[in-house]
Amino acid sequence: MKLLLLLGLVALAQCAIHRIPLQKGKSLRQKLKEQGLLESYLRQHPYNLATKYFPRRVASEPLENYLDDEYYGTIYIGTPPQEFTVVFDTGSSNLWVPSVYCSSKACNVHKRFNPVDSSTFIGTNETLYIAYGTGSMTGVLGYDTVSVAGIDVINQIFGLAETEPGDFFYYTPFDGILGLAFPSIASSGATPVFDNMMMEHLVDKDLFSVYLSRDGKSGSFVLFGAIDHSYTINGINWIPLSAETYWQITMSSVTINGERAACILGCQAIVDTGTSLLAMPNRALNSILRSLGIGSNGEVSCSDVNSLPDVVFHIHGKAFSVPPSAYVIEDSGYCSVGFQGMDAPTESGELWILGDVFIREYYVIFDRATNKVGLSRLP
């Protein structure tokens, strides 16, 4: 329908330019009625006059796919706007970018925010410290206008990095991070960007959705305030959160070839766009590698990939499979599994992180209105 409308507009424009007389034909309503499709079409596409004069608050932010390893988009801070690239991270809650106060070598190779150049900046004496699985930052907090996908969030609190120790952020293709998890885990009590979008009624629905492309292809995005149903033709499985901190859910088991391979007694999992791999407890990693017939180094012959079984995650009564084409990563002719060992137990059990290796298989909806995650198998 969108394509037909677009083509119609193009045709009208061409007629206007070249003064070609338009031929009056049957309307879409007439054609649908003749084919007995009008009633079902109107049910599926109800006409809402209000949307013509009060457009829906929906915004899509395209993401750059960097080697299937990191996905980042562009935001603007200040007046006039200063441009930055950030990871839209569902595994954290703070927004921060490098600042002119930072002398770390990581800051020197990235764009740095200068509060003096912004007429709307409001400074504070509050400090900020965030430690990630890789890398950390310290800085101060300030307020300014933040524009994300065309949505202007006034007086958004954010971090101005003063130090970025180590090498990790030095090598990243993005400048900073925009956290999309819950305010309960925000460092220094800073209100996350999406929470302000919701409170200020800047989005049509209190949710956002994510599509991550594979093989370095374009098309990745974060969609604020809506679900793109062209990505949900296989239906949506809704999973309640087990904690309103990260986007955390409960898994009942992980199976390979129908046999329980890990998470035997149940475990917790975080759906995290900011983690490249599938992270799991070291004991679970060793068990999965044994079930796959792969050595402890995780390396596999690239010619054997198609013979490996799916790894299946059982969540809320449904099975979510990840095929070897998704969990085996090829780099310069060498192949290895995209699994990573870690030990971070929680009060509710062992913790897994369902990172980009998992997310690329599904269109993921993060719903703050119902505190659920929606997973739809991609076509």
> What three-state secondary structure class fits 237?
strand
> What three-state secondary structure class fits 161?
strand
What is 60-222's CATH number? 2.40.70.10
**Confidence band (pLDDT; 50, 70, 90) for 23?**
very low
Per-residue pLDDT, 133: 85
Q: Residue 339 in contact with residue 277, Cβ under 8 Å?
A: yes
Residue 18 has pLDDT above 50, yes or no: no
Q: Average pLDDT in the 356-378 region? A: 98
272 counts as catalytic? yes
Mean pLDDT of the chain: 88
Q: Average pLDDT in the 134-146 region? A: 96
With a CB cutoff of 8 Å and minimum separation 6, the contacts of 284 are: 254, 262, 263, 267, 350, 352
Query: pLDDT tens, 198-239?
Result: 999 999 999 999 999 999 999 999 999 999 999 999 999 999
**Confidence band (pLDDT; 50, 70, 90) for 28?**
low
Per-residue pLDDT, 15: 35
Segment among 15-24, 250-259, 272-281 with least mean pLDDT: 15-24
> Which position among 68, 89, 175, 195 bears the catalytic label?
89
CATH fold match for the domains 60-222 and 228-377:
yes
304 counts as catalytic? no
Straight-line distance from the first to the last Cα atom of the chain, in angstroms, rounded to the nearest whole number: 19
Per-residue pLDDT, 46: 43
Residue 17 has pLDDT above 60, yes or no: no
Closest Cα to residue 172, out of 69, 63, 62? 69
Q: Give the type of residue at 211.
A: Y
Residue 48 has pLDDT above 90, yes or no: no
Per-residue pLDDT, 6: 35
Work out the burial of residue 371: count CB atoms within 10 Å of its CB; fewer than 13 is exposed, 13-18 middle, 19 or more buried: middle
> What three-state secondary structure class fits 71?
strand
Per-residue pLDDT, 2: 34
Closest Cα to residue 70, out of 227, 281, 283, 213? 213
With a CB cutoff of 8 Å and minimum separation 6, the contacts of 322 are: 278, 310, 311, 312, 313, 357, 358, 361
Query: pLDDT tens, 238-266?
Result: 999 999 999 999 999 999 999 999 999 99
Closest Cα to residue 275, out of 246, 316, 242, 244? 246
**Confidence band (pLDDT; 50, 70, 90) for 66?**
very high
- Apex 78 CA angle, 73 and 79, nearest 5: 125
> Which position among 195, 272, 356, 367 bears the catalytic label?
272
Query: pLDDT tens, 84-121?
Result: 999 999 999 999 999 999 999 999 999 999 999 999 99
With a CB cutoff of 8 Å and minimum separation 6, the contacts of 147 are: 75, 76, 77, 81, 153
Domain 228-377 has CATH 2.102.10.10: no
**Confidence band (pLDDT; 50, 70, 90) for 29?**
low
Residue 182 has pLDDT above 90, yes or no: yes
Query: How far apart are alpha carbons 247 and 185 in whole angstroms?
Result: 11
Domain locations in the chain? 60-222, 228-377
Residue 3's H or E segment, with its range, is helix 2-18
